[in-house]
Amino acid sequence: MGEPLPEMNETREDLPVRRQGPEIKEILLLIVLSVSLFLSILFVPVAGFFLSALTPAPTALSIVRREGAKAWIVPGCSAAVGSLILVLLGLPESIPYLLGLVAMGAVIGYGFRLGWSASKIVGFSSLLVVGLAALLALFAYIRTKGQMVHLIEQDIRDVITAAMKQLSAGSSVETKEMEKGLLEMVSPLVRMMPGIFISSMLMISWVNLLVCRRYCRGPAGGGQEQERLCLWKSPEHLVWLVIAGGLMLLLPWSAFSLLGINLVLVMGTVYFFQGLAIVAFYFEKWRAPLFVKGFVYAVFFLERIASMAVAALGLFDVWFDFRRHNKQA
């Protein structure tokens, strides 16, 4: 089965290991950074949402760069300090989300250290958080006696109504029409939350893996160093999940339609990654300038039509293999 995997207390020569002195300062910096990134969603409008997605990165970097028990100082302290601050802020319900992101960073760092493939790292780290969320959702469903979905919908409707009242002093026809349209979207949106949540976790894990690759490249080249993400492809059999999701959407039963739309959302994210890999491949081949890459990637992430086009590119790559004649380049 090949060479045995290294244990956590073994040092890989290709991974940077920090020495005494600046090590303590860096540990403190990573703890502060982890907690600050998570709390940014509360205090930094709009940008805080994106910054909080980087919460796993300090934990992943710590585990990759350090040996033994030292590797767990940053995730442990980040979880403890962050939870204490959330309690003091009156937001204890946010603690599971913090713990989930820290745990995701731990899996990313551990997998990177062992030389797992990108698919394995993203899959396992996302699965951990999704499993935790599913367990909490089950407890909430039991606690609310099956009324969890209805209560969530009602809370969202109350927020929309209150927000519309604050945005407009009067009760114009346009405001009422906008409010009516938003309220009508609540029910289908809540039922799409499982797919949206899983897709978000996949995206967050992927971004944090890229951060880990960027700042933990050793001179000898480890398992992650050998894997070119621009050549990444999803397993071909996953295309059947896309087909199954599409067929479910055509069925007249709402339960199947609900499952289908969530399945399509998740698989759309997977093929979005594959589409990005194709774009990255040709950027690398054509030596595209950094500002061009940044602009194009920003469009892909921020523009809905562009995102769908990239996902479609990844999906059709299953049949057309757009990098077939260029992989030796």
Break the chain into its structural domains and give their ranges. 1-143+196-226, 228-329
259 against 168, higher pLDDT = 259
226 against 249, higher pLDDT = 249
Tens digit of each residue's pLDDT (9 = 90 or more) over 256-287: 999 999 999 999 999 999 999 999 999 999 99
2: region left, alpha or beta (phi > 0 left; psi from -120 to 50 alpha)? left
146: region left, alpha or beta (phi > 0 left; psi from -120 to 50 alpha)? left
- Provide the pLDDT for residue 226: 52
Amino acid at residue number 89: L
- Provide the pLDDT for residue 163: 78
Q: Contact 110/121 with Cβ under 8 angstroms?
A: no
181 against 140, higher pLDDT = 140
Quick one: CA torsion of 18, 23, 28, 31, rounded to 10 degrees? 10
Query: Model-level pTM?
Result: 0.85
- Provide the pLDDT for residue 14: 53
- Report whether pLDDT(176) > 70: yes
Q: Which band of pLDDT confidence, cut at 50, 70 and 90, is reported for residue 217?
A: low
Q: Which among 94, 103, 108, 92 has a CA at the least distance from the CA of 40?
A: 94
Q: Which among 280, 266, 286, 285 has a CA at the least distance from the CA of 317?
A: 280
Q: Contact 259/294 with Cβ under 8 angstroms?
A: no
31 against 255, higher pLDDT = 31
- Its sign, for the CA torsion 47, 308, 260, 182, is positive
Amino acid at residue number 153: E
Which pair of structure tokens corresponds to residue 156?
A: 């969202």
- Report whether pLDDT(36) > 90: yes
Note the residue count of the chain: 329
Element housing 271 (H / E)? helix 254-286
- Report whether pLDDT(134) > 60: yes
Q: Contact 115/224 with Cβ under 8 angstroms?
A: yes
Which stretches of 72-228 are DSSP H helices? 73-88, 95-113, 118-143, 148-167, 173-191, 193-215, 223-226
In the predicted model, what is the mean pLDDT of residues 81-98? 95
In the predicted model, what is the mean pLDDT of residues 195-222? 82
In the predicted model, what is the mean pLDDT of residues 106-117? 93
- Report whether pLDDT(219) > 50: no
In the predicted model, what is the mean pLDDT of residues 288-298? 94
- Provide the pLDDT for residue 15: 54
Ramachandran angles phi, psi of 5, nearest 5°:
-70, 145
